[in-house]
Amino acid sequence: MTDASDLPVWPGEAYPLGATFDGTGTNFAIYTESAEKVELCLFGEDEAETRIELKEVDAFVWHAYLPTVQPGQRYGYRVHGEYDPANGLRHNPAKLLLDPYAKATSGTIEWGQPLHSYDFGDPLSFNDEDSAPHMVKGVVINPFFDWTGDRHPRTPYNESLIYEAHVKGMTQTHPDVPEQLRGTYAGLAHPSIIAHLQKIGVTAIELMPVHQFVHDATLLEKGLRNYWGYNTLSFFAPHAEYAGTGELGQQVQEFKAMVKAMHDAGIEVLLDVVYNHTAEGNHFGPTLSWRGIDNQAYYRLVDDDQQHYMDYTGTGNSLNVGNPHALQMIMDSLRYWVTEMHVDGFRFDLAATLAREFYDVDKLSTFFELVQQDPVISQVKLIAEPWDIGPGGYQVGNFPPQWTEWNGEYRDQVRDFWRGEPTALGEFASRLAGSADLYEHSGRRPVASINFITAHDGFTLRDLVSYNEKHNDANGEDGNDGESHNRSYNHGAEGPTDDPEILNVRARQQRNFLATLLLSQGVPMLLHGDELGRTQQGNNNTYAQDSELSWIDWERIDKPLIEFTATIARLRHDHPTFRRKRFFTGNTVRTGDGERLNDIVWLRLDATPMGPDDWDGDSDRSLGMYLNGHGIAGRGARGERIVDDHFLLYVNASAEEHELTLPGAEFAEAWDVLVDTGAESAHDDARPAGSVQALRPRSFVLLREHTTPIDPDFSVAASIAANRASSAPEPDDASAPES
């Protein structure tokens, strides 16, 4: 330890918290109510430590201003106070603590006894080994960045297509990304990656955790790593391993440059954030930050046994959202990522935990009230994973109106439908139409539903149609990890096969899932690589697989599937019928030329409307729907009605071919086939009203009203191009607020 007597120290300010460089020097501020003394520790290149006691305290914020400290300075804290784990107090000045507000970090954690405040084997004992040589340090950053020309795309929810992606997994093997940039923020911003996202219609990339996280000791001992990143060490710092440069604090600049590049391409950046727990784990865990700063303030402790932590997440601890200072940290973090890092929204991991002020989940909890009132956070995209593992934790459909939700009901029922599992057609139809049964009762719109079929947690799309069982041996948990009920179907062989018939039906099923997802009402979310045919070889829990098993293999991609995905995404983009802002009413639509059909009509395969008895049966596993393009509520920016073409959509999830009769001329004179996942080639002939055709096994068919008389020289391709040019609404029509 070096002498700090000749280092100028000024009183500084209690706000903002963290280390703030103002262009001249740096202000340091840290909250702790239970401490008796706080030391700021500065580290030189030779690891020499300089300790500075913070003597200024305002409202439990300890602070100082150091006029000579510049960006790149590494630092941490030592907090003195009572050590009484049985009563929730865990101060130990032998442990270097990371600033909860650190904007960047340096170094890696070296696991072992020094990081723990107790002696192994006795969780109530006191260990005084110095943890600094083994601990990550905070880094003072240069906050200045040239954002000139940057604009948030602010894509309306109903026009959004979200793409869940992993920074490293997305870029690690891409041949066009320079090797030194693979697995980094800069690699993600590479033109080849952005071009692919644009090709398939992505409007928002949702990044799996990029907050600085920790690789668990138990995984490292097995030769594995925490790949997913749901083990947060800092809620403000970008994960340093995803930076292409080793310069101190440069990960912040690189992240900002990535965001700016995405915005230039019209793509929003959403972050998967983990505010429900931290990397410190349960009472056996290490002392890295919050635990040693103010354990009782930051964590939910068992009321009558404060040695132990409440655990609603399965990770050992839960943040104390009932404490105003813990809540302030969460809100400050969210605001920082929006205002300073320019991100466009958040997906909240296990969001039900944030609603547990006391025990039960409460959608009117303080956290949601703060979000509602915040002028910054309330204006970005807020997506909840609406469950946790605690009692009453499954809360799909119950979040506040400004929130959207990962719709787990959509995932489950769409999977069941296409794999042929007996289920009521009404359940599937509700998901296809926007899940009004889940969201309309609280005044919400179809966009409250983030529709997804696959996500990082579970099978990829290709594996969903290739495996009946999980194959997680590589995780080292004897196959006990991961979901066992996957609602998947291998179609006759487990995993890889050379059988052309099985391969054909698997390919068709992937197209069925993608078409269903992208043309359902609500907001679609794709898992990265699903459009490429990515496989994890049946592993449905790759949280520890930082390897080729999880990374996208860009050398082996399904090019026809990419083209199919791009085509369906384009259909959705071009036609507001598939991205309505309001739920269907089932009411008759009146226009200037008289009375039209309902905005939606559910059809049997014989062209008659579905009756009450049809919804309960599922013997033929088929369903049709008519979508009235004149039945879209609302007006464009100039007051004009938003109108679109009329569509027919048919699904057949059975293994049998069915006879399909197109509806009569009161719907349309003729129809063009735009999509038929069961067809081997495209069809160029228009289908007259009332005509009979085959609805192939396991197929998704989309038809559009043919708007010109049928003639022998008719071409679907030419008709589509002509109709798009003449009848598609102006961009303002599709995106303008409704009346």
Is the pLDDT reported for residue 361 higher than 80? no
Which residue matches tokens 């391409």?
Answer: 265
Distance CA 524, CA 533 (A): 18
Is the pLDDT reported for residue 59 higher than 70? yes
**Mean pLDDT of all residues in 371-382:** 96
Name the pairing type of β-strands 523-527 and 449-451.
parallel
The answer to whether 707 touches 645, Cβ cutoff 8 Å, is yes
Assign 586 a pLDDT band (cuts: 50, 70, 90). confident
The β-bridge partners of 31 are 61
Is the pLDDT reported for residue 239 higher than 70? yes
Distance CA 238, CA 109 (A): 16
Instruction: Look at residue 672 in the predicted model and tell me its pLDDT.
Output: 95
Order of all β-strands in the sheet with 37-43: 49-53, 37-43, 74-80, 137-139, 105-106
Distances from the Cα of 714 to the Cαs of 81, 571, 670, 726, in angstroms? 83, 21, 12, 17
Distance CA 542, CA 229 (A): 11
Distance CA 517, CA 432 (A): 8
Is the pLDDT reported for residue 594 higher than 90? no
Which residue matches tokens 């697995």?
Answer: 183
Residue 54: enclosing H or E segment and its boundaries?
Answer: none
Region label for 76, one of left (φ > 0), alpha (ψ between -120 and 50) or beta (otherwise): beta
Instruction: Look at residue 739 in the predicted model and tell me its pLDDT.
Output: 26
Is the pLDDT reported for residue 725 higher than 90? no
Distances from the Cα of 15 to the Cαs of 46, 141, 378, in angstroms? 31, 17, 23
Contacts of residue 41, Cβ cutoff 8 Å, sequence gap at least 6: 49, 50, 51, 52, 75, 76, 77, 78, 96, 132
Backbone angles phi, psi at 602, to 5 degrees: -85, 130
Query: By C-alpha distance, which of 513, 501, 510, 466 is closest to 486?
Result: 466
Residue 725: enclosing H or E segment and its boundaries?
Answer: helix 716-727
The answer to whether 598 touches 587, Cβ cutoff 8 Å, is yes
3-state secondary structure of 542: helix
Pair of tokens at residue 441: 């009762």
The answer to whether 310 touches 323, Cβ cutoff 8 Å, is no
Distance CA 70, CA 378 (A): 34
Pair of tokens at residue 692: 């009979």
Distance CA 385, CA 402 (A): 14
Distance CA 83, CA 93 (A): 10
Q: Which of the pair, 539 or 441, is modelled with greater confidence?
A: 539
DSSP state of 561: H
Instruction: Look at residue 313 in the predicted model and tell me its pLDDT.
Output: 86
Contacts of residue 539, Cβ cutoff 8 Å, sequence gap at least 6: 470, 471, 472, 474, 475, 482, 545, 549
Cα 506-542-389 angle, rounded to 5 deg = 105
Give tens-digit pLDDT for 524-578.
Answer: 999 999 999 999 999 999 999 999 999 999 999 999 999 999 999 999 999 999 9
Give tens-digit pLDDT for 251-310.
Answer: 999 999 999 999 999 999 999 999 999 999 999 999 999 999 999 999 999 999 999 999
The residues that are catalytic are 349, 385
Give tens-digit pLDDT for 443-462.
Answer: 999 999 999 999 999 999 99
Distance of CA 519 to the CA centre of its chain: 20
Distance CA 353, CA 376 (A): 22
Which residue matches tokens 């007996």?
Answer: 422
Pair of tokens at residue 136: 């990550």
663: buried, middle or exposed (CB in 10 Å: 19+, 13-18, 0-12)?
buried
Q: What percent of the chain has pLDDT over 90?
A: 80
Compute the chain's Rg from CA coordinates: 28
**Mean pLDDT of all residues in 686-705:** 96
**Mean pLDDT of all residues in 500-512:** 98
Assign 708 a pLDDT band (cuts: 50, 70, 90). low
Which residue matches tokens 């969210």?
Answer: 334
Pair of tokens at residue 599: 């905005």
Give tens-digit pLDDT for 611-649.
Answer: 888 887 656 789 999 999 988 876 666 767 788 999 999
Assign 150 a pLDDT band (cuts: 50, 70, 90). very high
Length of the chain, please? 739
- Average pLDDT of the residues of the chain: 91
Is the pLDDT reported for residue 65 higher than 60? yes
Q: What percent of the chain has pLDDT over 70?
A: 91
Contacts of residue 620, Cβ cutoff 8 Å, sequence gap at least 6: 605, 652, 654, 656, 658
**Mean pLDDT of all residues in 134-144:** 98
Distance CA 431, CA 521 (A): 8
Distance CA 660, CA 676 (A): 13
Instruction: Look at residue 348 in the predicted model and tell me its pLDDT.
Output: 95
Give tens-digit pLDDT for 295-348.
Answer: 999 999 999 999 999 998 889 999 999 899 999 999 999 999 999 999 999 999
The β-bridge partners of 78 are 39
Instruction: Look at residue 359 in the predicted model and tell me its pLDDT.
Output: 52
Q: Which of the pair, 69 or 721, is modelled with greater confidence?
A: 69
Query: By C-alpha distance, which of 246, 245, 230 is closest to 317?
Result: 230
Instruction: Look at residue 395 in the predicted model and tell me its pLDDT.
Output: 85
Distances from the Cα of 642 to the Cαs of 423, 639, 666, 736, in angstroms? 35, 9, 22, 9
68: buried, middle or exposed (CB in 10 Å: 19+, 13-18, 0-12)?
exposed
Which residue matches tokens 């990044």?
Answer: 207
Least confident of 420-424, 465-469, 543-547: 420-424
Say if residue 8 is preceded by a cis peptide, omega within 30 of 0.
no
DSSP state of 502: H
Query: By C-alpha distance, which of 566, 625, 559, 562 is closest to 598?
Result: 625
Q: Rounded to the nearest 10 degrees, what angle do helices 408-419 and 500-519 cross at?
A: 140
The β-bridge partners of 676 are 701
